Amino acid sequence: MIRAVKGTRDLLPPDTAVWNRVERIAREVFRAYNYHEIRTPILEETQLFARGVGAETDIVSKEMYTFDDHGTSLTLRPENTASVIRAYIEHRLDQRPGVQKLYYIGPMFRRERPQKGRYRQFFQIGAEAIGADSPFVDAEVIEMVTEMLTRAGLTGFTLLINSVGCPDCRPKFVAKLKEALLPVAPSLCTDCQRRAETNPLRVLDCKVPEDQPAIDQLPSILDSLCENCAPHFAAVKGYLNDRSIAFEVKPRLVRGLDYYMRTTFEVTHGNLGSQNSVLGGGRYDGLAESLGSNVHSPGIGFSIGEDRLVMTVDQTHDDALDVFLAPLGDAALRHAGELARELRRAGASVEVLAGGKLKRAMELANKLGARFVVILGDDEIAKGEYSLKDMKSGEQQSVTREQLLQRLQ
């Protein structure tokens, strides 16, 4: 038997109804905040992620699915911000009026160890606001995230925020951090020993429990913010307070991608265990320039791990079958086909039993969770009426075609 590749999975009904509900809610919230959908290719040139995400990140150095395509190195996208910015530059979206507000829903690929809520093919719901550096935009993006999670039914989540500075103040902090790491790096995990040399900020993002006491003693970047970054972060916090959005400031929150600067944020949830992040995001004011843009295009965005979000929200769904048609005989079956078409055009979900006895029809309708069963026989068709049974109450009555349509509406 051929099975799904390790780290991937099949999403089956009725579970897909929950996925559809989450995505529908996401689209409704995006529309309310004037975001518009963008769909980028799953394949990109590898250099896009090496330059955008960072060559020393775990994603680029260890997790990407990369292959040679007749002399060109291609990669299955491990995240989508770099792809969105590439499309933004390529199609000159900077020439359009106002802030470009874009969202996406789709699969990403990383070859990491499969665990609860983490897969090698996983799905993200994300958004990017490109063209404004105001802290007001940061707060609005975070507000949109919390609104989306709340409408999806997630409760008990925690919003964490931080500032990781800018190219003016961050290098000074990194130098201070590197010095502080010298005596403790040998006791940290293998990855952090490497990061201490190549990308010290990434040490702060370490998830190894044994490393946390040493990491907690490292300097805080909030003590090194420059005269521009400090008031920017203060303004973000002020705007969130204005909206009564609860948050915790977490100075160790740096995220796992090199392009972040200033505001970073994350939402965690206790039901996901040690890997408890539902989403993450932040500002990336220099990313467009690093990918070749000659126009300064500051931006901020986020991505929700849809697999993990679906795990934490209410799993009930309203995906019941509206009508089960039970025709008795060949003539009734032909009539049922015509009736089913009309009911479907009216918006109802319909299943037709193509042959079989009434007892089997009722048993199958019950298993499928049908709201109503319509019995069609020669006598019913001749009278222009159908026998309609409410499967919840057990009530059965004769209805005309018009009455049936009204009942379903």
- Share of residues in the chain with pLDDT > 70 (%): 94
**Residue 333 within any structural domain of the chain:** yes
**Same domain for 244 and 361?**
no
Q: Into how many domains does the chain fold?
A: 2
pLDDT confidence tier of residue 306, bands split at 50, 70 and 90:
very high
**Same domain for 252 and 379?**
no
Domain of 34, CATH number, reads 3.30.930.10
**Residue 9 within any structural domain of the chain:** no
**Same domain for 301 and 375?**
no
Give the pLDDT confidence of 316-332 residue by residue, as tens digits.
766 788 999 999 888 88
SS3 per-residue string spanning the chain: CCCCCCCCCCCCCCHHHHHHHHHHHHHHHHHHCCCEECCCCCEEEHHHHHHHHHCCCHHHHHHCCEEEECCEEEEECCCCHHHHHHHHHHCCHHHCCCCEEEEEEEEEECCCCCECCECCEEEEEEEEEECCCCHHHHHHHHHHHHHHHHHCCCCCCEEEEEECCCCCCHHHHHHHHHHHHCCCHHHCCHHHHHHHHHCHHHHHHCCCHHHHHHHHCCCCHHHCCCCCHHHHHHHHHHHHHHCCCCCEECCCCCCCCCCCEEEEEEEECHHHCCCCEEEEEEECCCHHHHCCCCCCCCEEEEEEEHHHHHHHCCCCCCCCCCEEEEECCHHHHHHHHHHHHHHHHCCCCEEECCCCCHHHHHHHHHHHCCCEEEEECHHHHHHCEEEEEECCCCCEEEEEHHHHHHHHC
**Same domain for 264 and 398?**
no
* 25 has pLDDT over 90: yes
Last residue of a domain, one of 312, 332, 356: 312
**Same domain for 329 and 378?**
yes
**Same domain for 243 and 345?**
no
**Residue 318 within any structural domain of the chain:** no
**Same domain for 252 and 396?**
no
Mean pLDDT of 343-365: 87
**Residue 208 within any structural domain of the chain:** no
Last residue of a domain, one of 259, 292, 312: 312
**Residue 229 within any structural domain of the chain:** yes
**Same domain for 22 and 95?**
yes
**Residue 179 within any structural domain of the chain:** no
**Residue 290 within any structural domain of the chain:** yes
Is pLDDT larger for residue 366 or for residue 104? 104
* 1 has pLDDT over 90: yes
Q: The domain containing residue 364 runs over which residues? A: 323-408
**Same domain for 308 and 387?**
no
**Same domain for 295 and 346?**
no
**Residue 387 within any structural domain of the chain:** yes
Last residue of a domain, one of 312, 347, 370: 312
**Same domain for 141 and 268?**
yes
Domain of 350, CATH number, reads 3.40.50.800
Give the pLDDT confidence of 112-143 residue by residue, as tens digits.
777 766 788 999 999 999 999 999 999 999 99
**Same domain for 230 and 378?**
no
